[in-house]
Structure 1
């Protein structure tokens, strides 16, 4: 369809109150269609929430609807289409110029509009891959990686693991023996940090709902309180990253890479703030939140963070080729591919390590996933316990996202990591005792799209195929 130059996309809330059924949306839709077709844009604006009005002044909202009317004409019909991935209502909308689009509407529990978008109608879903073998699927998506891009994949069925490795050589795709090769784990490290958090709770060293503040000998800025559980499930709303110091002569990347625990604590004392732009959401991912969590766990155990991960995760689950530190000798490490197609290695980070860092292999990650199946492992069972409901089909535990995509109603625990030159995806169903590990050495847009496609197809093949 013809693209509008502006769109109203602010504050798409993901609260349970927002997930009305079709009949609950109908009064607002009827009013919207009437007001839109009669050019009564001021009345539409009256239904905007205060937060949306703050982000979108009346004049800008009016120019959006004027442009929409000029390009698409009046609305001929609207009918409920379904819910998007965030469980927000979609309406199939037919306009006078015969364009058909999806209107994506978000409402809060008081019936106010908190988000509005016009989207293209999706193309019919292509499920032809279901007739392909797993190897054919992987080869197809490997072709979408840059030259030298590769996948190291582990498919887990209880105590059985099948490994697949493929590499794009530019002209073709070849089998690659890389199950024991090291890749950056990127922000998959948050799962390992959460495992240490669960260990601390199991050891009765902390209470999950207690604040981390008690482990510091100073007050946090603005006397803000940060519960362990909120940092772990990203509902604390601390910013994604600390702001680069105005006094620093380093680039932002260098500043964040070399960000120390001393700087972190100075930030907590003097600059800690809440990300108000995201405070109406149920959660907002934060590298900084996990840095605070890891720093606090070091205080709880009086042990360096890297040692906590080594002892409570890598050693415990026999992940012998995994490490928090980047070794000087990198013979066993797969080189990442930067956005400008240069070879890169994972970067050793400082205080942000609990949120992104370290290396592992498909073999080691398969061991970790298999450990998740052990119902007697109190620590990992605690990491699987839901702590936040983002939407009816999207929950969060400690480090893991939880989806419910299967007709059986069984959960899918999953996470995706992205680092400079690397990306990954890990998922498992603890009921069926099946899992997937995908490690890649590229994080370009094309590579991430390929990872999304590959993970979706493998989830269908591994978890749904009978």
Structure 2
């Protein structure tokens, strides 16, 4: 279908063509060609296959009313979008590529990218310790490097002690975890899970601490740092740590029963999971990964810790070697009202991004996480 602006342009030409000087006619024809190209590009943005659309719709059928999936599928560098909404007991197709969702731990990839940028620009070395930037001493004078934080080999527990209680209120658990609580947990109550550098154990505390330290080094908040160095650079206009700037586009988070739940405020651990974004913006970041000249992004994808023959850890990225020798760079994310997943295959310029407003604390989150690899297989 020709766009409204195209129709308007054609009418203008038909009404005035007889009186146009040659130069103006040339300009209008050139403009028409540009609009034709734009219109063609717009039409291509939703051309996913029947198999892909059925996979997406099938997952949503088990979800409650108002649940959404926003999907971006990158096929050989070309991005296609698809959105579905559960409404009135039906699965409806919607345009939601610019709808905003909490992305949880996918934020960690941005935090690792900040670190890589610091390394590439000579501000720090991956094997430098963070201790001199903290302003306080870790309990037992434990020494931890930047690389260990970014690869989950720091030996830090998954969460600080004050957030590890089984009775913790998960409505908005990180909200009051400020600088003073971080200092107390690390300098007084810290109980290491393992010796730094010896074992890979996922740690929200570790990557949250990394984001905090990088901000301290620059004299900026994590939000200011990641916006200036990443979101602005890649024109990710609806990606932010400040939800109030995108509240008109923010999709409400739900639990498995379809009840609206609170958004999560990550406070001082923002770098572990505090970003909100869209499939359109994350697709821009994914496409940037295909640029071999971007040294910072390439550094995040380098294997820095080998866990098994088929799985390694980059800077935040999980690196999964597939049976067909393809390599997937993978990260999931989740909060109290959202689940998200992102996979890219740099060599083949493929990728899948899935955002949802379904809680990561329930059982339905597995359907979101399982959808990404299934969609990736359709691109092989």
Aligned partner (choices 196, 200, 208) of residue 126 of structure 2: 208
The CA deviation string for residues 266-309 of structure 1, in whole angstroms up to 9 with x for no partner, is 32222222115x99983111111112111111122222111111
How well do the aligned residues superpose, as a CA RMSD in angstroms? 2.4
Structure 1 segments of 4+ aligned residues over 4 angstroms from their partners: 250-255, 278-281
**Helix, strand or coil at the partner of 2:98:** coil
Q: 1:229 to 1:266 in 2, by over 3 A?
A: same
**Helix, strand or coil at the partner of 2:354:** strand
CA distance in 2, matches of 1:284, 1:145: 31
* 8 Å CA contact retained: 1:336, 1:442: yes
Q: Identify the residue that residue 326 of structure 1 maps to in structure 2.
A: 243
Structure 1: runs of 5+ lacking an equivalent: 1-130
* 8 Å CA contact retained: 1:257, 1:352: no
Deviation at 1:447, TM superposition (A): 2.1
TM-score, normalized by length of structure 2?
0.81
**Helix, strand or coil at the partner of 2:269:** coil
Q: Identify the residue that residue 257 of structure 1 maps to in structure 2.
A: 175
* 8 Å CA contact retained: 1:326, 1:346: no
The CA deviation string for residues 37-63 of structure 1, in whole angstroms up to 9 with x for no partner, is xxxxxxxxxxxxxxxxxxxxxxxxxxx
Q: 1:217 to 1:332 in 2, by over 3 A?
A: closer
CA distance in 2, matches of 1:300, 1:458: 40
Aligned partner (choices 137, 141, 146) of residue 228 of structure 1: 146
Aligned partner (choices 417, 420, 425) of residue 336 of structure 2: 420
Q: Where in structure 2 are the equivalents of 1:67-106 lying within 5 Å?
A: none
Aligned partner (choices 62, 67, 78) of residue 144 of structure 1: 62
CA distance in 2, matches of 1:245, 1:142: 32
Deviation at 1:410, TM superposition (A): 2.4
State which structure, 1 or 2, has the greater radius of gyration over its C-alpha atoms. 1
User: Is residue 70 of structure 2 the alignment partner of residue 173 of structure 1?
Assistant: no
Q: Identify the residue that residue 442 of structure 1 maps to in structure 2.
A: 358
Q: Identify the residue that residue 206 of structure 2 maps to in structure 1.
A: 289
* 8 Å CA contact retained: 1:186, 1:358: yes
Aligned partner (choices 189, 209, 233) of residue 271 of structure 1: 189
CA distance in 2, matches of 1:143, 1:339: 13
Whose strand proportion is higher, 1 or 2?
1
Deviation at 1:136, TM superposition (A): 1.2
Q: Where in structure 2 are the equivalents of 1:53-132 lying within 5 Å?
A: none
Whose helix proportion is higher, 1 or 2?
2
Q: Identify the residue that residue 356 of structure 1 maps to in structure 2.
A: 273
Deviation at 1:352, TM superposition (A): 1.5
CA distance in 2, matches of 1:328, 1:316: 18
CA distance in 2, matches of 1:421, 1:254: 10
CA distance in 2, matches of 1:449, 1:218: 40
Q: Identify the residue that residue 24 of structure 2 maps to in structure 1.
A: none
**Helix, strand or coil at the partner of 1:152:** strand
User: Is residue 281 of structure 2 the alignment partner of residue 367 of structure 1?
Assistant: no
Aligned partner (choices 185, 198, 221) of residue 103 of structure 2: 185
* 8 Å CA contact retained: 1:326, 1:347: no
Aligned residues: 329
* 8 Å CA contact retained: 2:116, 2:300: yes
CA distance in 1, matches of 2:145, 2:353: 31
Deviation at 1:185, TM superposition (A): 1.1
Q: Identify the residue that residue 4 of structure 1 maps to in structure 2.
A: none
TM-score, normalized by length of structure 1?
0.67
CA distance in 1, matches of 2:345, 2:323: 10
Structure 2: runs of 5+ lacking an equivalent: 1-48
Using CA pairs under 8 Å that are at least 6 residues apart, name the structure with larger relative contact order, 1 or 2: 2
User: Is residue 145 of structure 2 the alignment partner of residue 219 of structure 1?
Assistant: no
Q: 1:225 to 1:280 in 2, by over 3 A?
A: closer
